[in-house]
Structure 1
Amino acid sequence: MLTYFRRPVVLFALVLVAAVTSFLLLKPDAATIAAPPKPVTVNTHQGTLPKTRAVAPAPDTAALPPATPKTILARQQVPILCYHQLRNWRPRDSKMAKTYIVEEENFRNQIKMLADSGYHTISPDQLYDYLLHNKPLPEKPIMLTFDDTNLDHYTVAAPVLEQYGFRGVFFVMTVSLGRPNYMSKAQVKALSDAGHTIGSHTWDHHNVKKYNPEDWVTQIEKPSKQLQEITGKPVLYFAYPFGLWNQQAIPELKKRNFRAAFQLATSRDSLDPMFTIRRIIASGYWSPKQLHRSMVNSF
């Protein structure tokens, strides 16, 4: 019997059978192989995180070059609304002033309309990543911005936004901090701590087109430093007073570490669209329906 197993042909056959058996025992069954993870869609509801489209995980864009100005200009614009005062009209308010004053009930109805229509607020960081790196945004994105540090941004806007799980961008004019009818430093910090974005709106709303060299320190550097001290976060976004800008302002803002700047409704700069992002004023004369129509027509 032992002599039989010593035969070369028999030994070769035994080795082959052992190898095949080992392969079959070790090979994982196809049914036990884990399927690749499916994209996660976050369920949306008032007060919860906005849902995003079910898409494959985005590639890491850290090593990718940013989009060219031409590519940025070709991307679909995100609607961005600009609010100023949120209070009831007074007899002495001029016709022009009422454009910038949205009455409280109308503001609540406008925000409710946006929520009921399926809009989701985004931050400037999300907009930045979308424009430069084409990162996905929530469905029906919108940005809500508030200029000039008015107290009603804290007492009226913030509670309404919170009701719908929205977040805003508050562009602060630092000269007014702590003055009557304006926000305090503590209130600005509270907004930041609640997840809203705090941006710069200069020291005293001085038109950037009229700056002298020293104005860049007074109007931009010092206010940005003060806001960073208040919030504990870098100040990366800027809103031009009156929505007015010129090409000379853009390199000055870049030197001071701003990532983007927001104007109003004029055309974007062909070379620096990130520093001429468009917004429209939410007029006090608009009903929620008129606001929505203006958004669709403008963006």
Structure 2
Amino acid sequence: MHSVVNLTVHGIGPTNRELDPGEDGTWVNVEQFEQVLDAVVGRQDVHITFDDGNASDLEIALPRLVERGLTAEFFVLVGLLGEPGRLDVAGVRELAAAGMRVGSHGWAHRDWRKLNAAEVKQEIVDANRVLGEILGRPVSRVAIPFGSYDRHVLGRLRRAEVTCAYNSDGGRANPDSWLQARNSLRHDIDAAWAPRVMDGTPSPPLRARRVAARAYKRLRG
């Protein structure tokens, strides 16, 4: 069975907003981002995704993707659109007009394992609905904040008719799987990182740990 590698970008370059605790760990500079893009060119088995709806998605990422003939999928925080350092509604539409896919990262970047009933509706149902109204078409693909899920979260997504859910479990993924593992760019990556993630073969112990961790997450709750 062929497989794919899903990469996750968060923020790129300077930002004019205060980062959340630990968020700087997934922020990369422009050179690091360009090194990853250059490694991805021509790879049909690699998918690029973006989380959080940062302004750098539009200002830095989009022109560099277009320049290389690449497409990507952007998962935005619907309730934070228009805030300093974030995409606004016009920016979301510009990404879509440029041929990029846009999905939901929820409403306000909350852990979906710790929601009450009202928050579940806002994060999973309302976010998809509002984003669909912005784009003029249904939205049914999501990226789970913090990669935090359990059997209850997966059940809620199924009931909300989500057609694809991305997590942060790492490793390669079956392209036909409803739940997709991703690999996050981090602040300390070097030029060898992307080729290593795309072409490296994890050791048997690492593969076993990943399989066990995914099984545990699906069943816990």
TM superposition score normalised by structure 1:
0.61
Residues 210 and 288 (structure 1), Cα distance of their counterparts in 2 relative to 1, 3 Å cut = same
1:163-189 C-alpha deviation (Å, 9 max, x unpaired)? 011111100111210111111101101
Aligned-pair distance for 1:235?
Answer: 0.8
| Among candidates 107, 111, 123, match of residue 37 of structure 2 | 111
| Among candidates 117, 126, 130, match of residue 226 of structure 1 | 130
Counterpart residue identity of residue 184, structure 2 = I
Q: Which residue of 2 aligns with 1:201?
A: 105
Q: Which residue of 2 aligns with 1:85?
A: 11
Q: Does 1:295 align with 2:221?
A: no
1:85-114 C-alpha deviation (Å, 9 max, x unpaired)? 101599x99995443011012211221222
- Name the SS for the 2:47 alignment partner: strand
Measured in 2, the distance between the counterparts of 1:192 and 1:258 equals 19
- Name the SS for the 2:180 alignment partner: coil
Q: Output aligned runs, 1:186-265, within 5 Å.
A: 186-265=90-169
Aligned-pair distance for 1:77?
Answer: 2.6
- Name the SS for the 2:192 alignment partner: helix
- Name the SS for the 1:149 alignment partner: coil
Q: Residues 261 and 274 of structure 1 are in contact (CA less than 8 Å); yes or no, is this contact kept in structure 2? A: no
Query: Please, which runs of 5 or more residues in structure 1 have no aligned partner?
Result: 1-74, 120-139
Q: Residues 98 and 285 of structure 1 are in contact (CA less than 8 Å); yes or no, is this contact kept in structure 2? A: no
Equivalences, count? 198
Measured in 2, the distance between the counterparts of 1:231 and 1:250 equals 25
Counterpart residue identity of residue 288, structure 1 = A
1:150-206 C-alpha deviation (Å, 9 max, x unpaired)? 000000001000001111110011121011111110110111122111111110111
Aligned-pair distance for 1:291?
Answer: 2.1
Q: Which residue of 2 aligns with 1:281?
A: 184
| Among candidates 136, 142, 145, match of residue 49 of structure 2 | 145
Backbone CA RMSD of aligned residues: 2.6
Q: Output aligned runs, 1:17-96, within 5 Å.
A: 75-88=1-14
Q: Does 1:164 align with 2:68?
A: yes
Aligned-pair distance for 1:243?
Answer: 0.7
TM superposition score normalised by structure 2:
0.81
Q: Which residue of 1 aligns with 2:205?
A: none
Measured in 2, the distance between the counterparts of 1:201 and 1:224 equals 9
Measured in 2, the distance between the counterparts of 1:89 and 1:184 equals 15
- Name the SS for the 1:80 alignment partner: strand
Amino-acid identity (%): 26
Q: Which residue of 2 aligns with 1:183?
A: 87
Q: Residues 147 and 168 of structure 2 are in contact (CA less than 8 Å); yes or no, is this contact kept in structure 1? A: yes
Query: Please, which runs of 5 or more residues in structure 2 have no aligned partner?
Result: 203-221
Q: Residues 173 and 204 of structure 1 are in contact (CA less than 8 Å); yes or no, is this contact kept in structure 2? A: yes
Aligned-pair distance for 1:79?
Answer: 0.5
- Name the SS for the 2:74 alignment partner: strand
